[in-house]
Amino acid sequence: PTVLSNPSSCLPSEGTEEVPQKGYGLKCLYRVLRFVCSLVNPGLENSTEAVKHLGLRLLNIILETSSAHLANWPQLLGIIQDDLCKYLLQNLKSDNLVLLTHTFRAFIHVLSIEKLKKHLKLQAEVFFNNLLALAHESSKLAQYERQELAVECILEFCRQPGFLLELYVNYDCSLHCTNLFENLCKFFYKNAFPVNGALYTVHVLCLEGLLTIIESLSQPNDLLNPPAQINPEEIRKNKQTKNLLFKAAEVFNKSEKEGLEFLKNNNIIENIEDPMCLAKFLKNTPYLDKTVIGRLLGKPDEFNVAVLKEYTKLFDFSTTSFDYAIRTFLQSFLMPGEAQIVQRILDAFANHYYNSNPGPFGNAEATFLLAYSVMILHVSVHHKDVKAKMSPEDYFKTVAGTNDKKDFPRDMLERLYQSIVSQEIKIPDDSPSGEITKSKWRDLLTRAPLIGSFTPINSFVQAFDKDLFSVIKGPVISAIVVVFETTADEPLMRRALDGFERCAEISARFNMTDVFDNLIITLCKNSTLTSPSAVRENGSTIFGRNVKARLATETAFSITHKYGDHLRESWQNILTCIVTMYKLDLLPALTDLPEFSINSTTRSVKTPSSPQTSTRSSLLSSFGILGTAGWFGSDAEEPSQADLQAQKLTADCVRQCNIPDLVTNTKILQIDSLIYLIKALILGSVVPQQSKQKLLIHDPASIFYLELLTIITLMNQDRLILIWVLVNEHFLGIIRSATPFADRSQLTPLVKKAVSLLLTLCTNLVQIADLSEKVIPSLEIFTQLPHPVVDECALILARGFVKLLDNAAHIKSKSSWNTVLGLGLLTLNNSNALNQAFPALYLLVSTPEKLTLANFYACLRTVITFARSRLLSHSSVVEAIELLNNLYAFPMNFLVPVSSKASLASMQITDETLPAKEDGYEFLHPFTEEQVWEDYWQPVLDALCQLCRDRRFNVRNYSMTILQRCLLSPYLRVLSSRTWGLCFHQIIFPLLEQLLEPFPDESLTSVEETRLRASFLLSKIFLQYLPRLTLLPEFHKLWLQILRFIELYMKADHSDLLAEALPEALKNILLVMSASGVLTPPDPSAFPDPNPSQNIWGLTWATIDQLSPSLKEEILHKVAPVLIPNYTGGQASSPVSGSGVTSGPNTRNPSGSSSPTTLNELAHSSHSAPALPSSSLSQESPLATSSLSPHSLHDKDQTLVV
């Protein structure tokens, strides 16, 4: 309803039908209410404190009993809106505490009724502004009690459900109202703690007010929808607009040019070049300086004149009187003093008023002259320097004949004169604060339609909680911090800490991580655990005596447990507290961490709960750097009873912090919080470099950080992909720091620990299939370290190597296998490490299921390197050589039985689907003979050849045995003659060539035996695969090369052993070649020989003749019975193509004579010999019985039939 300027008009008019009512009726209540209001009027001359006291008591009784019904009657509401509120506001200046108390109580009653307060928005704003002003009064003894009473009244309102929310929505988000909620929070903040001096009741009350606000925002109510008339988004938009307009007005009041630029940059008005847009901004922005508006409207340039005209048009003069119109217009800005500006502004007003309401005016000029006369009259009457005041007659004479040469109506001029004289035209004082005078109250009531009505809001609506907390968070937290830090009262400390927890709850609800971090940082600071001075010999005792530090510590960790997802930068402070507890020997065992440290023993420490027997877990061991008697040693004095009590309090505090659960729960942290935690751990484990000459300053706390980082990383295996880059780069950086240093004495425990923990991470994470390929590349860093550093960490590397091979099934790629097995190669210079690593390698290679396509080459390289190591035990070397035989057998997986070839033709080879081995093989698609030879068999045979040249006699001999076993394997029958030719040229001949080189520091006997074994190997392999070799086009060259090596070995170092054994071996080879039809005289019919360079017969005897003529005679003597038998009428053998080898029945000499009997004849005989029976082989030759069996010579499936 409209505010009633004349309350008497509220009385029911005579003649109207009265509604039957109970009691005395509305008229009586109206008069009673007016009477009671008159009693509390402090402006009455006969008003005494007793009268006002009586009136306030009566008023409170009325409001307590009937306030809910007063709003139903507009007549009664008018009294409350005007007289009642005005008198109550004026009573706020009373020094009588009883009157002040009753006044506050009356306002509490009025503003607590929803039906009533929605009509008192303006009155409530004025009341609260004056109440805050009263509470701001100085703390002088005479005024302190009034201040305390005012604060209690404010606190009473704050405790009402929904009050703060209604305050924010109705005032802070309203364009034409003050920011009551924000001002209230600022008041509480400024008065919650003493700047200088003691803590008074007012400070405690203000702190309670802040905590009340926080508690109202942290209520665990369900989010309810706001009333239909409330649109949260629209209200937030109004708030943003209000803030923006306030800033624009602030800039505009300082500089018009900067103000216009601000309006343009922030799109506050639609078009800065449109006069109407700028005029609306000047008219409707409540924070603009009236002087600035008047100066802008009075400028003579064209744009400003246009703005003036548009500004004037914004006033509705169609139904208003002239005195009200000009008063309203002139009160909207401060008129400049220059005559031309006044004339220009009044001219715009006159034109608009005449067009809107011509009334008694003859033209617009008459309207202008009357307006100008009003200005003259106003100056004459109200200016203090004007002595002669203008009388009514003087004024009438001044305006006579100005209405288009006529006079204005006399009654109009009289009303105008009385209006100007009785009420000065001035800028209205509509500020809601300050002393309430009659004129100020009238000015305030004019704002009532502008600010609208009060909107009640459900107290459970939480749609604006975030907005409210954004306003209050800074003042509240700052005030709580100051109170907590300055007070020594434990209950007050706990109350402040309760406020911390409430703020943390709200911050977590709205994900305000910056606020949350500030809370944690503040609490950690007050815990004293982040201070370097906390780490001292009696630190746990001092901490136990500090109540404030213990309370802050418990609160910080309690908040972290509940809302750890919202920690960001403050993780560093939490970790600092934990490390301080670690240094003070206060931490319990966090978790077991199986690692590969050199020193895995735990150190005994002293804890408050059990000073003598407590021990720390392996997580906290630091390679014995800290000793075994705690951080500060064990020579402290025996603690007193008070010290023991303090230590017990400390232990209880640490137990309340529940740090093990905090570490365990990191696996459920949100990823953003986890990343910040990882970064904090990384930062804590980095220590500065002291100089270029020394590595890193040793800080045991850094090792603790590194261990904790490892534990938390392992706990988050399911999302390792998100943190591995950070963790991995940090470990690599620490390990890399050892690269420039070659002296192992400069290697710090931090680097050793980093090596151990990186291996711990990799060996645990490699068990997860999706992670193995991501973590294994990190191990390549170890190959970049200097040899002294590697040797120092060899045992750690060996244990990590063993653990990695235990999880071989999870390693898939070749690069990963190269890295893992390369780790084993780093143990070569440490016998203990080497012999620890080898059993794991042996198990890997000797287990067929673990040997795969991916790790074949890496295994081969590692096995040969281990076998060549002088530090490996003899038994392990033998096992390493045997592993080469396993590797040699691996390509058998690429063979398939001939009978199964059709069914397996389309099978793709994988490590999991390798075919079973049987006799009679062919290569399985897509493998080919050339590929298998070059990629698998040849590398293994090369490796064995390397060991056959080893300086150790036993290694050479055993390697020769394994090499012979591999070459004589039945699986190699699948190889073609071409591949066997490659085998001789790439494997056997290079080995023979290298064995001819001198062996320093070796006895001649051992060298002779090695060369003899190599010679026997040559003969065995040659005879075993002779049928295949004869198919080679270059067989004659291969044969000559063999003869050359026999010659070289017979002459090597003038060895009697070789000189005796090799001729016998050669005899046996020739006999077998003769028996198989490979070595026969050429066909006489082909004389002269068409291919003398490929004549095996001639080339053989020519070479033997050069080697030893006596040997030639001896050999021919033995083979003569075979090559030149008595003629028995048999057929001669047919020559083998291109080789001089003949086959078939014997033929008789053309002359009819018997076979030649001399060596010369035998050498030039063209007759072939019959097949040599197996019984004719030399029994003295070591190769006679083992190199060529009847199966190998006559197996129809494996031997070429000539």
Q: Which residue bears the tokens 């109206």?
A: 30
Asked if pLDDT for residue 1158 goes beyond 70, the answer is no
Asked if pLDDT for residue 255 goes beyond 50, the answer is yes
532 contact partners, CB below 8 Å, separation of at least 6: none
Q: Across the chain, what does the average pLDDT equal? A: 79
Asked if pLDDT for residue 1066 goes beyond 90, the answer is no
Give which of 1057, 1080, 1195, 1087 is closest to 1142, Cα–Cα.
Answer: 1080
- H or E segment to which residue 28 belongs: helix 26-39
Q: Residue 8 pairs with which residues in a beta bridge?
A: none
The pLDDT of 655-665, averaged and rounded, is 92
The per-residue pLDDT for 22 is 59
The per-residue pLDDT for 93 is 87
Which is more confident, 1047 or 10?
Answer: 1047
The per-residue pLDDT for 5 is 38
- pLDDT tens, position by position, 578-598: 999 998 888 887 755 555 543
Give which of 104, 71, 84, 107 is closest to 33, Cα–Cα.
Answer: 84
In terms of average pLDDT, the best of 832-846, 1076-1090, 1100-1114 is 832-846
449 contact partners, CB below 8 Å, separation of at least 6: none
Asked if pLDDT for residue 117 goes beyond 70, the answer is yes
Cα distances (Å, whole numbers) of residue 631 to 530, 611, 638, 808? 17, 13, 17, 41
Give which of 731, 742, 728, 737 is closest to 696, Cα–Cα.
Answer: 737
Helices 465-486 and 180-191: angle between axes, nearest 10 degrees: 10
Q: Which residue bears the tokens 């050999």?
A: 1115
Please tell me whether residue 1136 adopts helix, strand or coil conformation.
strand
Q: Which residue bears the tokens 């673990």?
A: 850
Of all residues in the chain, what percent carry a pLDDT higher than 70?
79
The pLDDT of 651-661, averaged and rounded, is 93
**Which of 33-42, 625-634, 804-813 shows the lowest mean pLDDT across its residues?**
625-634
- H or E segment to which residue 897 belongs: strand 895-897
Of all residues in the chain, what percent carry a pLDDT higher than 90?
30
The per-residue pLDDT for 634 is 47
In order, the DSSP letters of 130-197 are HHHHHHTS---HHHHHHHHHHHHHHHHHHTSTTHHHHHIIIIITSTTS--HHHHHHHHHHHHSS-SSS
Asked if pLDDT for residue 149 goes beyond 80, the answer is yes
The per-residue pLDDT for 564 is 93
Amino acid (one-letter) located at 350? A
Asked if pLDDT for residue 613 goes beyond 80, the answer is no
- pLDDT tens, position by position, 907-928: 343 433 333 333 456 766 667 8
Handedness of CA 173, 175, 181, 187 (dihedral sign): positive
The per-residue pLDDT for 424 is 86
For the entire predicted model, the pTM comes to 0.74
The per-residue pLDDT for 705 is 92
The pLDDT of 1049-1057, averaged and rounded, is 84
- Whole-number Å distance between alpha carbons of 298 and 340: 9
Give which of 1104, 1037, 1078, 1043 is closest to 1171, Cα–Cα.
Answer: 1078
The per-residue pLDDT for 669 is 93
Say if CB 1027 and CB 1199 are below 8 A apart: yes
- Whole-number Å distance between alpha carbons of 634 and 755: 31
Asked if pLDDT for residue 864 goes beyond 90, the answer is yes
Q: Residue 1134 pairs with which residues in a beta bridge?
A: 1143
Say if CB 732 and CB 778 are below 8 A apart: yes
Asked if pLDDT for residue 568 goes beyond 90, the answer is yes
Say if CB 782 and CB 755 are below 8 A apart: yes
Asked if pLDDT for residue 17 goes beyond 60, the answer is no
Q: How many helices (H) and strands (E) does the chain have?
A: 55, 4
Give which of 938, 970, 964, 1097 is closest to 1019, Cα–Cα.
Answer: 964
- Whole-number Å distance between alpha carbons of 693 and 884: 46
pLDDT class for 1090, splitting at 50, 70, 90?
A: low
User: What is the rounded radius of gyration, in angstroms, for the C-alpha atoms of the chain?
Assistant: 55
- pLDDT tens, position by position, 496-545: 999 999 999 999 988 999 999 999 999 999 999 999 888 888 888 999 99
Asked if pLDDT for residue 322 goes beyond 60, the answer is yes
- Whole-number Å distance between alpha carbons of 549 and 153: 35
- pLDDT tens, position by position, 748-794: 788 888 999 999 999 988 888 788 888 999 999 988 888 888 888 89
- Whole-number Å distance between alpha carbons of 753 and 598: 9
Asked if pLDDT for residue 169 goes beyond 60, the answer is yes
The pLDDT of 977-992, averaged and rounded, is 91
- pLDDT tens, position by position, 701-743: 889 999 999 999 999 988 989 999 999 999 998 888 876 655 5
The per-residue pLDDT for 625 is 29
- pLDDT tens, position by position, 949-961: 888 889 989 999 9
Cα distances (Å, whole numbers) of residue 731 to 780, 838, 872? 12, 27, 31
